[in-house]
Structure 1
Amino acid sequence: MDGRGAHVIVVGNEKGGSGKSTTAFHLATALLYKGYRVATMDVDSRQQTFTNYVKNRRRWAEAQGVSLPNTLHFHLPRPRGDSIRENQKYEFELFGAAIAEVEDSVDFVLIDTPGFDTNLARLAHSMADTLVTPVNDSLVDLDVIVRFDPATGEARDLGQYARLVQRARSERLAVDGHTVDWVLVRNRVSMLASRNSRTVQGVLDKVAMKLGCRVADGIAERVIFRSLFPYGLTVFDPLDETILGGLPPMSHITARQEYRLLLDSLNLPSRKLAPIDGQRLEGAANDVRPVEAQIA
């Protein structure tokens, strides 16, 4: 890639329900279809939505006898010890082992984080080259990033998540001289123009200037994302009538284009480690393994 191994993409936001797992899975799948080697990691040991997405995909493909591109996937379990210090040490070792295993053998590592502050989430953010933060198109959901004056739209104070990101960026800069490219992504955007939508966009533009990040065009609210989760499928996969109950609607095609535009806006490095043939890509990592199995 750029001489430093795999490019690490972290999808994070401390606001639950912001669409992190759906965004992460679609970005990973889009990169697979572009021919990149991709490893994924789920550090939300409580909900494991991303891991369930991966499992659903492999179970459905096996049941249907079809081949789909898959990532090499890791899920990190939650330590059960009584000592917080020992638990954090254990998490650090597992996280480091997973990164070390793939950093020189894949093009991208994509990490999904929980909607709350954890030690693993902080570790992931400190490793990010690109940080993608989905933000629901609502003023209520902006408070973890910035607290603002509702009358003027001016930022009054940073929210707790923005503080976490700023610390991670400072630490990264001190360690290797690189900064984290932070991209705010409007999610579940209403397809109808509204005063709220314009206000959210205005606030995000001001936040981006204040925090030194970027705002990317978002993803509209679409039923198809909820429909595809049980199958572990994305809008990039070939879909037929047995899944959708009919031909793909225009919303499916539009959603795919929205994610393509989002991927383009991330300005990710494009050089691959080596050409990948279809068979190797489709057969990659056919099971989901906890990290303990990797380092035993």
Structure 2
Amino acid sequence: MPDRYQIESCQRRFYEGYSHFIRQTPVWKLPGKALGVDCAEVWLKLEQLQTSGSFKARGMLNRLLSNPIPPSGVIVASGGNAGIATAAAARELGVRCEVFVPEVSSPAKRARLAALGAEVVVTGAAYSEALQACLARQQQTGALLTHAYDQPEVVVGAGTLALEIEQQAGLPDAVLVSVGGGGLIAGIASWFEQRSRVVALEPELAPTLFRAREAGQPVDVSVGGIAADSLGAKRIGDLGWAATQAHVRDALLLGDDAIRAAQLWLWTELRLAVEPAAALPLAALHSGAYVPRPDEKVCLIICGANLDPASLN
């Protein structure tokens, strides 16, 4: 698993040469009552303001900076956000980028990819099928493969988000994190270890970590639902599995109705336009899936905003 030294080194690399690209996103501290929650404080880590619209920019840039890039450029399969982040990092470094997305990916994310100059291939009903097509293409071209969540450099980059929270605000009592393939929670758990309680959150219709824990090992699951374009991995990644086994006690499931309600609440009450995957932490509080102590400081990772604004109407 990645360690805290690697995460600190990655952050220094970002600061020294790419502070214009990797943003220090704000932590917004609110009293729990402001969000209808019985706890001392809720911290919103506003990572939807990150370059490319999600936390993925951290890991994808770190992956590209850590490896030689061949003339064929870089290649990735993605529900959207990892592809957008890879395309943005590729444009920053002036290299070619090819992105394979499944049919479930949103038109808004495909349009963003095209605007960033990526070559977009739409194939397969789900992320796993797009990934297989991507791997076959990579064998033909020799392009540098970036994985959406299961490469050490990607996890280390995601871990800089957790380091940044501690630098900005100190240690929260709990950190609520959405899980798809597990790259984000792997990075966050690798930084906080067990100094803060890291809580894994998944949609009921995409329970990769939850089912892996039931089986005692990563297993394939069927995925669908409102957050499938972001949290649509078919299986928890090896790095996500290892990190959550070591550092994460709680893995909770949330229904689509609760996720959608939290997404709309963030827009109507706080004017935060975020995609469904970014709303799971608030959904966990509002639904009662996670009940904080009255004195608790809870950090919600608001992880992305690549959505069609019309979907908030």
Same fold (TM over 0.5): no
What's the TM-score, normalizing by structure 1?
A: 0.34
With the length of structure 2 as denominator, give the TM-score of the two structures. 0.33
Q: Which has the larger radius of gyration?
A: 1
Higher relative contact order (CA 8 A, sep 6+): 1
